Chains A and B, each alone.
Chain A
Amino acid sequence: MKNIISNINKAFDHRIRLGIMSVLMVNDFADFKTLKELLGVTDGNLASHAKALEKDDYILVEKSFIGRKPNTRYSATKKGREAFQKHVDAIEKLLKQ
């Protein structure tokens, strides 16, 4: 039991961060606007939660320009994928008990 709980990741303990990771697990990448629409959150909210995940090296942020418009693209890192998978496995194990 203790072992399982230690696999529950605090970084994913928030609906928006959980949502960002879920999207990035099944998509190679997602841009800021797409994530915003999917999660139904404000710019600032998304940016701060994405920042937190970036700090943990769970997601990769690429900034570029499409024409003159700035575009921010997110993708999950290998570390992020593994951590998220572990987190989901831990939750599922907890629920089975």
Chain B
Amino acid sequence: MSTEDYLKDISEIKNMMNKSSRFFSLSGLSGILAGFYALIGAAIAYYVVSISGKDYLILDGVTFRWVLIDLGVVALLSIITAIWLSARKAKKNHEVLWNATSRRLIGAFLVPLVTGGIYILIKITSNHYGLTGSLMLIFYGLALVNASRYTIGNVQYLGYIEIVLGLICAMLPGYGFWFWVAGFGVMHIIYGSLIYFKEQ
């Protein structure tokens, strides 16, 4: 065998190791769009709260319900976009969207996220909702760090940033909204763009 053959072998080994343990079709564009959804959703929430005449939220008020629906729509749109664009990218890469790697990725992502979601709901129903923004950022960050092992784009750094934002947010009560905008809106757009341009 020649040197060239050996080089080919090594690159094949690396390729197979990566391909079998990481999900490659994560779409940068879906990150950018998720950021914009978050910004639009935040603007709507800001507007809804401001026309209610109070600058704080009452738990069983109509306003709060609207904000929750708003948040739900943002989350749903982000998920649908992520699945749709990843499916498109997977097809282009001749990769299967639903394979052992993507299943592991979703599992690693969902465990911290669902735990956090349930915890936040428990806190909200017992009227401790002051830290909701901070908790969302922290648990989302942990989910990203945990899932980053199974995908590309160094997603763990985005996770660390979200965690730090969440912790700072916990120290500055009353600014949860703005930290949420920074973490879910601005950071997604910046990070999504980084991945997007790397893809090109």
- A residues contacting B by CB (< 8 A) are 8, 13, 15, 18-19, 22-23, 25-27, 30-31, 34, 37-39, 88, 91-92, 94-95
CA distance A7 to B17 in the complex (A): 21
CA distance A23 to B19 in the complex (A): 8
B164 to chain A, nearest CB (A): 30
Can you name the residue of chain B whose Cβ is closest to the Cβ of A5?
B1
Chain A hits for B3, CB < 8 A: 94-95
A41 to chain B, nearest CB (A): 12
A59 to chain B, nearest CB (A): 14
Number of A-B contacts (CB under 8 A): 50
B7: contacting residue among A23, A25, A31, A95, CB under 8 A: A95
Chain B hits for A8, CB < 8 A: 1
B108 to chain A, nearest CB (A): 14
Can you name the residue of chain A whose Cβ is closest to the Cβ of B22?
A26
Q: Does B49 contact A (CB under 8 A)?
A: no
CA distance A70 to B15 in the complex (A): 29
Interfacial residues of chain B within 54-113, with CB under 8 A of chain A in the complex? 96, 99-100
CA distance A27 to B99 in the complex (A): 14
B20: contacting residue among A23, A92, A94, CB under 8 A: A23
- B residues contacting A by CB (< 8 A) are 1, 3, 6-7, 9-10, 12-17, 19-21, 96, 99-100
CA distance A37 to B100 in the complex (A): 11
Given contacts A19-B16, A23-B17, A30-B100, 5 further A-B contacts (CB under 8 A): A18-B13, A22-B20, A26-B20, A26-B21, A27-B100
CA distance A88 to B17 in the complex (A): 13
Instruction: Contact check, B99 vs A15: say whether CB atoms are below 8 A apart.
Output: no
Instruction: Contact check, A23 vs B16: say whether CB atoms are below 8 A apart.
Output: yes
Can you name the residue of chain B whose Cβ is closest to the Cβ of A90?
B6
Tell me if B's interface is mostly helix, strand, loop or mixed: helix
Query: Among the interface residues A26, A31, A39, which one has the most CB atoms of the partner chain B within 10 A?
Result: A26
CA distance A19 to B20 in the complex (A): 10
Instruction: Contact check, A91 vs B12: say whether CB atoms are below 8 A apart.
Output: no
Chain B hits for A18, CB < 8 A: 9, 12-13, 16
A58 to chain B, nearest CB (A): 15
Instruction: Contact check, A91 vs B9: say whether CB atoms are below 8 A apart.
Output: yes
Instruction: Contact check, A92 vs B17: say whether CB atoms are below 8 A apart.
Output: no
A-B contact pairs, 8 of them (CB 8 A): A22-B16, A22-B20, A25-B17, A26-B17, A37-B99, A38-B16, A91-B6, A94-B3
B90 to chain A, nearest CB (A): 12
Instruction: Contact check, A22 vs B6: say whether CB atoms are below 8 A apart.
Output: no
B11 to chain A, nearest CB (A): 11
User: Quick one: given A27-B21, A95-B6, are A22 and B99 in contact (CB under 8 Å)?
Assistant: no
Chain A hits for B96, CB < 8 A: 37
Instruction: Contact check, B20 vs A27: say whether CB atoms are below 8 A apart.
Output: yes
Task: For the complex of A and B, list the 6 residue pairs with the smallest distance between their C-beta atoms, beginning with the closest.
Answer: A22-B16, A23-B20, A22-B13, A26-B17, A26-B21, A19-B16
